[in-house]
């Protein structure tokens, strides 16, 4: 699947802009700055496909990328950005809710969690929304290169405990580093095997 090229399709700010639900779709959710756009670039082997940045809240639209002719990869705007105006947050929450509950071709949501920080309250909120929307989600740990193995284990224990509260959680956690290319092949096969 990932041998083929990926392309940016469009950025969407409202439900009526969504592309036809005619391909297998996965989305990437997570706190602002957790590494969603960087992960999509690393997975697809395309340097600047998704715009990554040091400025939190950079990705404001739902960005659709095509992978091969069969899949959509979806980069969701980051949440939990402290400086975002309330009106923006509320608009985004409404769109996200509609997207998650109404997208028939959405096979899995990947919830990205920073290996340094673990699951925070805002992550729990998204997980609850995914439970309510009956969208299976899988946690992907990011930036594993930034912590020592013992700290990684500690975070994993915390994440596993948090997941027991969420019926939509897929039990297997994928640990990644976009920097070191760790875990990417695992994640690629997970996506390729969804049908
Ligand atoms: P928003 O679009 O604001 O929600 O952020 P995002 O989740 O898309 O994060 P982005 O991919 O822009 O990455 C944020 C910062 O983290 C960038 O400076 C990346 O270079 C860095 N980063 C992402 N992944 C990794 C990683 O695996 N290791 C390291 N060391 N840094 C990473
Ligand atoms: Mg981004």
Domain of 126, CATH number, reads 3.40.50.300
Q: Is 34 inside a domain boundary?
A: yes
Find the 56 Cα to ligand 2 centroid distance in Å: 8
Residue to mutate, 42, 52, 96, 126, ligand 1, most ligand atoms under 8 Å from C-beta = 52
Read off the tokens for 101: 């509950």
pLDDT at position 189 is 98
pTM for this entry: 0.95
Find the 182 Cα to ligand 1 centroid distance in Å: 15
Find the 110 Cα to ligand 1 centroid distance in Å: 15
Q: CB of 37 within 8 A of CB of 121? A: no
Nearest CA to 26 out of 95, 99, 80, 129 is that of 99
Q: How many independent structural domains does the chain possess? A: 1
Q: Is 82 inside a domain boundary?
A: yes
Average pLDDT by consecutive 10-residue portion of the chain (195 residues)?
Answer: 89 90 97 94 85 63 92 92 79 89 96 98 95 97 98 98 98 97 98 95
With a 6 Å cutoff on the Cβ, whether 143 touches ligand 1 is yes
Residue 123: domain span: 6-193
């Amino acid at each position: 699947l990932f041998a083929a090229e990926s392309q940016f399709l469009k950025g969407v700010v409202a439900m009526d802009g969504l592309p036809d639900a005619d391909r297998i779709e996965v989305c990437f959710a997570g706190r602002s700055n957790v590494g969603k756009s960087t992960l999509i670039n690393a997975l697809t082997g395309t340097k600047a496909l998704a715009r990554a940045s040091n400025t939190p809240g950079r990705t404001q639209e739902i960005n659709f990328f095509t992978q091969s002719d069969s899949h959509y990869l979806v980069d969701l705007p980051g949440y939990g950005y402290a400086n975002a105006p309330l009106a923006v947050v509320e608009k985004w929450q409404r769109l996200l809710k509609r997207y998650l509950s109404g997208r028939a071709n959405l096979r899995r949501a990947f919830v990205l969690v920073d290996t340094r920080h673990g699951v925070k309250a805002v992550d729990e909120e998204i997980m609850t929304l995914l439970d309510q929307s009956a969208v299976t989600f899988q946690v992907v740990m990011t930036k594993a290169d930034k912590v020592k193995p013992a700290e990684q284990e500690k975070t994993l224990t915390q994440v596993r405990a948090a997941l027991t509260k969420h019926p939509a959680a897929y039990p297997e956690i994928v640990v990644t580093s976009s920097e070191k290319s760790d875990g990417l092949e695992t994640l690629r096969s997970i996506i390729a095997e969804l049908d």
